[in-house]
Every structure is written in C-alpha cells, then in structure tokens.
Structure 1
C-alpha cells in the first residue's frame, strides 16, 4: 500500500501523518509526506522538520518532501486538492490520509477544502482525520 499524506503545517495534518505512519507500519506500506509550496523557505523547512519528527517517533523510514510544482500565489484550497489528486495519479498512490480543519459551512463556501476536493473526486480511498 502506497500512502500519501499532504501536510500543511496544521496540527490536524500532523495528526493525520501520525495516523498514516501507524497505518503504513501495520500494513507494511510506503508513506510519502508532501507539503505543497511555491518554493522552499524557512516555513517549509519548519513543516518538514516537524513531519520528520512525527515519522521518526513512529519509526517510519521516509523523508518528507516539498512539492514546488505548484503556483500558490493565491490558491483556494480546492486547487490544492486538485494538486493532491494530480500527485496521486502521477505516483499511483493507493490511499490518501489528510487532516481537515473542520471549518464551518461559510468558511468552506469561501475557501473550499482540499480534503473535500480529494474526497469528492472519488479517485482514491481517503481517510480524513480531524
């Protein structure tokens, strides 16, 4: 099983990463933690460092990465969801584990939700962690 975990720096994305790490260990799967950003920076380094600590604590042997093949000047989260789906297709992931911020209906209507975009695309099994 090949598992993708998008991490955005939020606590819920790191809870999703911990859940996915346990899943990968249990099912002897491969796990990739990916942060989407326009370019690497101190912020992306901080996200990767925290992700690496979560993976180390779960004894999962993989390095988190930054996907900079995106334009994130102003991106509604449903566009990030599309980027996640493209990565799923390109790399052939079997499962996606994502955090969800639990935003209300107004926030979802204005901003969209990457988790909802991936979930509603119905292209790959998705586990959503609050």
Structure 2
C-alpha cells in the first residue's frame, strides 16, 4: 500500500501513526518515523537542483543562527547598499545565474553565524556492488 503525503514540505522527520480499520473495528496502532524526500523523476533517477529556483534546492535557513543567507545574482544586486558583496558571476560564469551569499560587513560582528541547512539526499550507488 502506498500513500503520498503532499503536505510535507521540509526535509525533517515526521511521526506517522498507522491504525488498521476493518469491519471488526480499529486494530492496534503503530508509529513510524518518516522523512521527506524531494520529488525525483523516476525516468532519470536523478535529482537536478540549482539556486535558480526560488525554493533554493530545499535548503533552509537555520532558525538558531544570527543572520541569513541571501539568494542573489549580479543583475538584481543593489550596488548602492552592497557594492563589493558577492562574486561577479554564478558558478557557471553567468551574470544572470543565482548564488547564495552572506553579508560579512556591518552590522556583522565576530562570532555571528549564518547557517544554510541542506536537506538529506539519498543518492543510490552507481555500482550495485559498492
């Protein structure tokens, strides 16, 4: 039996209670812990992701840090406020492409932390024997 839980949007663990229901009534419940996994194209068996998508590959900002990462590209960058911040292009060399950066100048101070948390990726081995 398969059931898709479409409300799961964060790469976190969820506790699910399973209770069989028959014509004789409810059976004994069991609890399972499940984890969200990003949708994957079953034909490609690959997960393609980049910072071009506003969902930033399902990365999340850490709520326990002092400040956040910013998704940016050269074209949309406001040079009035951040003239020397970030690279001159994304990893492919494109000025239109997006990247993630942190503002390290004022009001940052020593010890501040900005954490971007990666989802858990389950990558199958290419070689079935290792």
Under a length normalisation based on structure 2, what TM-score does the superposition of the two structures give?
0.26
- Which of the pair has more CA radius of gyration? 2
Of structures 1 and 2, the one with the larger relative CO (CA 8 A, separation 6+) is 1
Give the number of the structure whose residues are more often helix, by fraction: 1
Under a length normalisation based on structure 1, what TM-score does the superposition of the two structures give?
0.26
